[in-house]
Amino acid sequence: MTSKFLRSVLAIAVFSMISAWAQTSGAATPNAPSAASAAPASPAAAPSTPGIGTKVGTINVEAAVFGSNEGRRDADALTKKLEPKQNELKAQNEELEGLQKQLQTQGDKLNEDAKTTLVKQIETKKKSLDRSVQDFQEDGQAQGKEIFGRILNKMAPTIVKYAQENGFQLIVDTSNQWPQSQVLWSGEGVDITKAIVDAYNVQSGVPAPAPTAKAPATKPATTTPKPAAPAPTTPPK
């Protein structure tokens, strides 16, 4: 589903949402009245921030969102929604391949007018298919992005709360692998993805999707048939 551009957009969304929730959580306790500042500060009385430690954790935010019950449910619904159009594009692609095969196998047997007409028909159908595939992919990505952003916005407080309660100072997103990400390597012991998914499933109250004959997708499937390459034969002048 996700192209490089979409992944960069999702990364910005992850940073913005989680940072906003972390700032909100940190600002939840207001400062004491100004009278408190009048008292002399004691070096031994420096306050400590509860729940803040020195541990570093990792989370695959994309896997957490689309691995949650809500994410799986909405991704499956999007896949089913896009399936008719995907089948339509597949049929158009097969029709185009059939015309190209006809040109390659029978082109030398057709008269000039028939061959020219067939070539133009192939070009017209290919341009139409290319536009339809691009529109389909952009629509699927946009709807997948909407699902991702909506669920992440609700999941972000769970991530922040878990980090604070378990002494994490830093949580790094590993949705992308190095070199697309700055994370070169991380061990399984620091990954909190499953813990966040489990906690969010309880919070959301969304039941697990019913098992199907094939494994459920973890994110919306927007794969489309690759448009057939244009036939190499051109009409004679």
172 — phi, psi (to 5°)? Answer: -110, 135
Q: What is the per-residue pLDDT across 33-62, written as a single tens digit (0 to 9) for each? A: 333 333 334 334 334 455 556 799 999 999
Mean pLDDT of all residues belonging to the chain: 78
Beta carbons within 8 Å of 135's beta carbon, 6+ residues apart = none
Confirm whether pTM is higher than 0.85: no
By the 8 A CB rule, do 143 and 78 touch? yes
Enumerate the β-bridge partners of residue 113: none
pLDDT of residue 4 exceeding 90, the answer is no
- Read off the pLDDT of residues 73-131 as tens digits, 9 standing for 90 and up: 999 999 999 999 999 999 999 999 999 999 999 888 899 999 999 999 999 999 999 99
The CB-side HSE value for 24 (13 A sphere, CA atoms) comes to 11
Output DSSP code: residue 58: E
Q: Output 44 or 147, whichever has higher pLDDT.
A: 147
Helix (H) / strand (E) element for 26: namely helix 4-26
